[in-house]
């Protein structure tokens, strides 16, 4: 088995692995899965990901066949997120997911990302258990659209990475997670939670001008009113384009 950087010719195989993996892992309607594959993994968007220096797409190859892939993104100075990790169900007993995870973490570390977070849908029991086996803990929840329907997504981080800074906003104490970031046009946005346990999203902290921005439009866009810093997409679905 070889883990390598994805190539343009891998695009049909990546879509097929994603489809088979989602069918096996998620309690989603078949029509929803088809819509998600068309939305996230069409050839033009995959090509954009392969050409983006801030993103990393690795594939696991067995006898010249792509059997898994890991999609991750550098979100800020020293931080990165593993967005999706899919393995063909026929090959899940071969530890390919673990090897993809370790290779992703090593490649991101080479790019200067010492802090790694992971995201997985809440209803994917195996995916959540996978992060727990890596020594990660759930630090929050967010929402992702799949074929136009919102789904809860759990956010995981290594235990020692969890550090929340209390800040005041109009007389209320909220908590900034400087290790959980979204890419911005000028500087990253740090995620802000309503409580110290990091369960409920409050908004975002602009690291460029150090001000709070808790307004997001229906398409998932954030813009800092103070300095104009704007949130860049990290996902492939239309909510982030």
Query: Facing residues of 56 across strands?
Result: 72
pLDDT of residue 34: 83
Residue 215 confidence (pLDDT): 61
Whether the pLDDT of residue 30 is over 90: the answer is: no
| CB 86, CB 17: distance < 8 Å | yes
Q: For residue 190, what are its two tokens?
A: 């740090």
pLDDT tens, 51-61?
Answer: 988 899 999 99
- 67 by Cβ neighbours in 10 Å (0-12 / 13-18 / 19+) ranks as buried
pLDDT at 94: 86
Rounded CA gap, 127 and 147, in Å?
20
Look up residue 195 and give its DSSP letter: S
Q: What is the mean pLDDT of the chain?
A: 83
- For residue range 216-238, list pLDDT tens digits in order: 655 567 788 888 888 755 554 33
- pLDDT value, residue 163: 66
pLDDT-derived band at 241 (thresholds 50, 70, 90) equals very low
Q: What is the pLDDT of residue 238?
A: 30
Superfamily of structural domain 2-159? Gcn5-related N-acetyltransferase (GNAT) (3.40.630.30)
**Res 240 pLDDT > 80:** no
For the chain, give every domain's residue range.
Answer: 2-159, 163-235
pTM beyond cutoff 0.85: no
Question: From CA 65, how far away is CA 62, in angstroms rounded?
Answer: 5
How confident is the model over 121-165, as pLDDT tens digits? 888 888 999 999 999 988 878 777 777 778 888 889 886 655 677
């Amino acid at each position: 088995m070889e883990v390598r950087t994805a190539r343009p010719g891998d695009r049909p195989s990546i879509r097929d692995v994603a489809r088979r993996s989602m069918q096996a892992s998620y309690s989603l309607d078949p029509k929803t899965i088809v819509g998600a594959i068309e939305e996230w993994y069409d050839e033009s968007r995959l090509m954009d990901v392969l050409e983006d220096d801030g993103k990393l797409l690795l594939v696991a190859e067995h006898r010249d066949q792509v059997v898994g892939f890991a999609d991750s993104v550098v979100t800020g100075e020293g931080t990165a997120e593993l967005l999706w990790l899919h393995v063909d169900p026929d090959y899940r007993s071969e530890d390919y997911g673990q090897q993809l995870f370790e290779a992703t973490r090593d490649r991101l570390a080479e790019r200067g990302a010492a802090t790694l977070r992971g995201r997985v849908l809440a209803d994917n029991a195996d995916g959540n258990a996978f992060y727990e086996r890596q020594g990660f803990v759930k630090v929050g929840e967010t929402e992702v659209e799949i074929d136009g329907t919102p789904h809860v997504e759990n956010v995981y981080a290594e235990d020692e990475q969890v550090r929340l800074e209390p800040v005041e906003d109009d007389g209320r104490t909220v908590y900034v997670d400087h290790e959980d970031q979204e890419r911005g046009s000028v500087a990253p946005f740090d995620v802000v939670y309503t409580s110290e346990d990091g369960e409920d999203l409050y908004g975002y902290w602009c690291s460029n001008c150090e001000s709070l921005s808790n307004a997001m439009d229906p398409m998932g866009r954030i813009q800092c009113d103070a300095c104009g810093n704007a949130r860049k997409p990290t996902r492939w679905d239309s909510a982030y384009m």
